Chains A and B, each alone.
Chain A
Amino acid sequence: MSHWIELNIGPVHPSTHGIYRFRVKLNEETVEDVDITIGYLHRNAEKICELNYFVNNTIYFDRMDYIDAMNMELGYLRAVEALTDMEVPERAQWIRMIMAELSRIAARMVGIGALGLDVGMLTPFFHTFHEREKIQKIFVEASGGRQEVNYMSIGGVYQDFNDKIIEEIREFISEFKGKLEEIVKMFTDSEIFWQRNVGTGILEPDIALDYGVTGPMLRASGIPYDVRKDSPYLFYDKVNFDVPIARTKDNMGRFLVKAEELRQSIRIIEQCLAKLPDGPYFNPKTKKSAMLLLKGQGDVFTRVESESGEFGVFIRGDGGVKPYRVHARSPSFKNLAVVPIMAKGSLIADLIITIASVDAVAGEVDR
């Protein structure tokens, strides 16, 4: 006979980064069962998108995974462009690629810093956020917004890159290479970090596939699935990069995969900057009031690799100026679903790290 107590982690708790609630059944320190309640940040984004013109919905996607806004925009815009047969100029695509990778770095910085906080080390958080701040400065320089950037628009980008932005990105990349190694060392040098991450939160590959887990979590379980590699979009087939996988299946593997992906993101940005061509940065069909007159018919489903996994957008158009149905396949939602399986039988301290390693963003989970 076991005596258990119920611990209510969330909706407001230091280690649920975002608002969701875990009802944990505890036997002393051991987790027996986890029940996840979501919906605290439900903002009805998919329904609102049906009421708006195609151009308006970009900011609603910005606000889904609000720490990785560029990739969210990209996911939506790829769907709209496929629906309305809009062509994107080459320069705009390269710019989008640079921004998507920068945004991935910015999002990872939050994830890694928060993992540090959950393990109990306060300092790396400030270092990672300083790096994120530099990226956000680049975003402001390019788009005028820090978090809800709204930089990409249908058929191109909002404004062109100028020399100052390219110079800033170059400078950031050259500084970040060394800084990243330093930040990763801050974690891997600590034997307590090893103790708490190696062998905890194990996710078997077949369970990951059953639940539709994608992103670094799937790759840390040993399955090399990356949308950028398996169905390349933009110009991801023209740059060289590695898809890191780990066979350890635990939290440490996830952390190392994320760190390695940052290095690959730097590689991609460097190649993009070298290949950035001249030319128009937007499709002239979408300027001024033509923005309101875009029409599309049919079903499209496109996907991009966001920071937490495969982000897919489904749009059905009925030939009008507004979409008939918009649906987002959010990776965080799927990734969060395996937390009870990963945490079962572990200690409560491991549950917290497992939650942190999922990198779920409440805005994207609830939409």
Chain B
Amino acid sequence: MSILLRIHQWFSFLGSFASFGVAYFLQSIVVLVFVALSFIALIYIFRKYMARIQRRIGPNRVGKFGLLQLIADALKLVGKESILPEGRDDMAYKIAPVIVMIATILAFVLLPFGDLAYFGSLAVTHSKVTLVLMFGILSIIPIGEILGGISTKSNYALLGTMRAVAKDISFEIPMMISVLAIVIVSSRSYVTGDAITGGLSLSGIVSNEVIPYGIIEPLGLLVFFISMVARASYSPFDLGESDSELISGYTTEYSGMRFGFFYIGLFGMVYLSSFLISVLYLGGANGPYDNYVGFIYLMIKTIILVLISFLIWVAIPRIRIDKFVNLGWKYLLPLSMANLVYAGLFVLYIR
């Protein structure tokens, strides 16, 4: 019995529709609060981790071990004056960070979080097309970035946006093709060879994924991982906000909490991409002892991926934009195509 049904039962005196509504609402809140808390922990881990790699100590003044540092930073961002650039496109300027923020939050609601002992399934969304929804939302985020870039009337932001668009176009096609390969592979159970449904929803993919798809199609994992690094835009592929050339790219003219939203979007994408990779390629909530602890398996996989991402972030230099476009079209696209053909042949084989 999932957590949703439990809440529904408690509120059953309201009637069927109303109690389901309340249950969805409450569960979304619970998941979002969990995500927000773990997200704060994530930024704290990032700062400590980066500091240790760079032989520093990291935040240690606010609270014990600097645990309250992020809250202090958030208060600072909220309290700062929001400087509005002259000659801006006012509405686009103001809604851009909100689009990034909301899209990031929405994406977390769609994730299948797996089972946890008493609570049962933690997944909020039970739609059959969460995969499609998820990548729909992921493609909303660039719109916010582009709006933010071109509305500020700054040359740095303009260049940053141009790069971000070039980057997005060149990696999103390989990303979608490698996701397509997942859908093909999960259309048939490789245990029995029967056709199965649920290939378009994330939870359906997870339930079919007895052997992680990363083992079946490592090429797809590579392409998807690189695409996700590019989507989250951290160090090797942070072309939109390459701080040594373009100061801060499309966020150059933002300050205060509006900048904070972009910042949350950046770290949220790191977190979300780690979730997505572990769901799609590493078996998600599946593990040796099934049921009951699936959520913990998912979190372990995600945190390991997050740590790897952060190590990439601090260690690897930034790639140049023309080289990245080359990489996207000349290497990632053929690789993902080959992966797609391979996935088709694999499905034919197991049938």
- Which chain A residues have a beta carbon within 8 Å of chain B's beta carbons? 5-8, 13-15, 26, 28-29, 116-123, 125-127, 130, 190, 192-193, 195-196, 347-350, 352
Contacts and interface: CB of A to CB of B under 8 A. Distances in A.
Interface stretch (B2-10, B77-85, B154-162, B300-308): B154-162
Contact of A350 (B243, B314, B316, B320): B320
The interface centre, meaning the residue of A8, A125, A196 with most chain B CB atoms within 10 A of its CB, is A196
A119 B318 contact: yes
B156 A7 contact: yes
B319 A192 contact: yes
A186 to B, nearest CB: 8
A295 B95 CA distance: 71
A117 B244 contact: yes
A137 to B, nearest CB: 16
The size bracket of the interface on B is: 20 to 34
A44 to B, nearest CB: 31
Interface stretch (B49-57, B143-151, B213-221): B49-57
Contact of B245 (A8, A15, A193): A15
A111 to B, nearest CB: 15
Contacts of A349: 242, 245, 318, 320-321
The interface centre, meaning the residue of B242, B316, B317 with most chain A CB atoms within 10 A of its CB, is B317
B64 interface: no
A121 B55 contact: no
B315 interface: yes
B157 to A, nearest CB: 11
Given A14-B247, A127-B55, A347 B155 contact: no
Given A6-B155, A195-B323, A14 B317 contact: no
B329 to A, nearest CB: 16
Nearest to B54: A126
Contacts of B243: 14
14 contacts: A7-B159, A26-B159, A28-B162, A29-B163, A119-B244, A119-B317, A122-B235, A126-B54, A190-B317, A192-B316, A193-B317, A195-B320, A347-B320, A349-B320
Contacts of A29: 159, 162-163, 321-322
Contacts of B238: 120
B268 interface: no
A63 B158 CA distance: 38
Interface of B: 50, 53-56, 155-156, 158-159, 162-163, 235-236, 238, 242-245, 247, 314-323
A121 B159 contact: no
Contacts of B247: 13-14
Contacts of B156: 7
Given A120-B242, A127-B55, A347 B314 contact: no
A195 B319 contact: yes
A120 B320 CA distance: 10
B55 A348 contact: no
A130 B159 CA distance: 35
A293 to B, nearest CB: 50
The interface centre, meaning the residue of B156, B243, B244 with most chain A CB atoms within 10 A of its CB, is B244
> Which 3 pairs, one residue from A and one from B, show the smallest C-beta to C-beta distance?
A120-B318, A126-B54, A119-B317
Contacts of A119: 244, 317-318
Contacts of B54: 122-123, 125-127
Nearest to B162: A28
A5 B157 CA distance: 12
Given A126-B56, A193-B317, 6 more contacts: A7-B159, A121-B318, A126-B54, A127-B54, A196-B320, A349-B318
A190 B318 CA distance: 10
A273 to B, nearest CB: 28
A67 B323 CA distance: 34
B155 A196 contact: no
A116 B315 CA distance: 10
Contacts of B320: 195-196, 347, 349-350
